[in-house]
Amino acid sequence: MRTELRSTVDRLDRPSAYYHSRNNKRRRTDNGRDGRDGKDGDTEMANAQPEEPPEDPLRNATTLYVGNLSFYTTEEQVYELFSKCGEIKRLVMGLDRFQKTPCGFCFVEYYTHQDALDCMKYIGGTKLDERVIRTDLDPGFEEGRQYGRGKSGGQVRDEYRDDFDEGRGGLGRAIQHERMRDNERNREKERNYDDDYGRLR
């Protein structure tokens, strides 16, 4: 028979470029994330490459990375929504490295690859706790990955965010930090003044 044809409509159950581009900066054939609504990428057809890397770590992935959660979303809420795609084997909440509080992402592990794919199709891009969440296939959770990798303990993306997102702790942390330092400095000045004042007396 013929080789498998590319669908006439893009699929939503493809991983984002994240993992593949980490391994190989050149391989950017997937547009699962950006091309959601597109019916067909005409230009892609010419250089469509059916061959995948020989050992695709996502081929049987049962785990999803879930992003853009509110810091206040609980495990129970995640369970309630994600169970609609199948029984959850394990749920690991992403935590702030220092505070050990949720920092806006988690890993959901299903029993089957199909459930994970269905989750990409039916839950990724919908709302949980009134935020549009992002899902991506993941090769699997390993100890240590639950912690944010930003300087301040949270996720890197929350470092320099300049929009005020109440669900994710307000402004980016670096910016917050800067502001706090400013305040601190001002207060310091005042305190110094107080101290001096005291001494003068």
Partner 1 sequence: MADYDRRQSGGGGYNNRKRRYRDDDEYDRRPQRRRYDAPVPVRIRKQLLGLAESPLRRWHEEVQSIAQVIAENYEEQELRTSFLDLVPQMVIEQPLKVPFVAAVVLLVNSIKPEIIDELLARVASDTEEKVKVGEWRDVKLYLKFLACLQGCLEGDGLFPLLEELFSRAVDLQTASSDDTIGTELVKIILLTIPYILAAAPTAQSQQKAAELMDKTDVIASEPHALQVLIDPYHVSDGSDSPTANMSLVGLLQKQLQNEATSGWELSCLPRPWQMPLEEIEQQEKLDSAQKHTLPGISIPEKVITGPRPLFPEVFYSVYVNQEIASVPPVSSIASSIIRDALSDTINILHFNRNATARFLIDVDCYFAPGTFVKRATPFDRLRDIEGDRSTWKPEDVAVDAVFSQLFQLPTPEHKLVYFHSVLTEACKIAPAAIAPSLGRAIRYSYMNTYRLDLELTYRFLDWFTHHLSNFGFMWKWTEWVDDVNLPDMHPSKAFIMGALDKEIRLSFAQRIKGTLPEPYQALIGPEKEQDTPEFKFNDDHTPFAAEGKELAALLKRKAPDDEIQPVIDRIHSAALDQSIDPLVSSTDVFMTAVCWVGSKSLSHVLACIERTKDRLLDAGAASEAARAQIITAVMSYWSAHPGVAINIVEKLLNYSIVTPAAVIDWALVSDRAGPYGEALSKAWVFELVFNTVVKVTGRLRQVVSGEMGEGAVEEVAAMRDLFKRMDDALVSWAQGTKDQMMDPVVSDGGEDLVKRWGERWLRVFRRRSAIEESFLAESKVTA
CB of 185 to partner 1, least distance (A): 38
Which is nearer to partner 1, 64 or 128 (by Cβ)? 128
CB of 103 to partner 1, least distance (A): 15
Interface map 112-151 toward partner 1 (x if CB under 8 A): ------x--xxx--xxxxx---------------------
DSSP 137: E
Interface map 4-43 toward partner 1 (x if CB under 8 A): -x-xxxxxxx------------x-x--x--x-xx-xxxxx
Tokens of 187: 């207060």
Q: In what order do the strands lie in the sheet with 88-95?
A: 88-95, 102-110, 63-67, 134-138
Which is nearer to partner 1, 12 or 174 (by Cβ)? 12
Which is nearer to partner 1, 37 or 55 (by Cβ)? 37
Return the residue of 23, 74, 186, 192 that touches partner 1, per CB under 8 A. 74
Question: Count residues contacting partner 1 (CB under 8 A)?
Answer: 48
Of residues 25, 129, 29, the one with CA closest to residue 75: 129
**Residue 141, number of CB atoms within 10 A of its CB:** 18
Q: Are 19 and 139 in contact (CB under 8 A)?
A: yes
Q: Are 153 and 166 in contact (CB under 8 A)?
A: no
Tell how far CA 94 is from the center of its chain. 10
Of residues 29, 103, 24, 28, the one with CA closest to residue 71: 103
Tokens of 80: 């309630």
Which listed range, 60-68, 90-98, 136-144, 154-162, lies at the site for partner 1 (CB under 8 A)?
90-98
Residues engaged in binding partner 1 (CB under 8 A): 2, 5, 7-13, 26, 28, 31, 34, 36-37, 39-47, 74-77, 79-81, 83-87, 91-93, 118, 121-123, 126-130
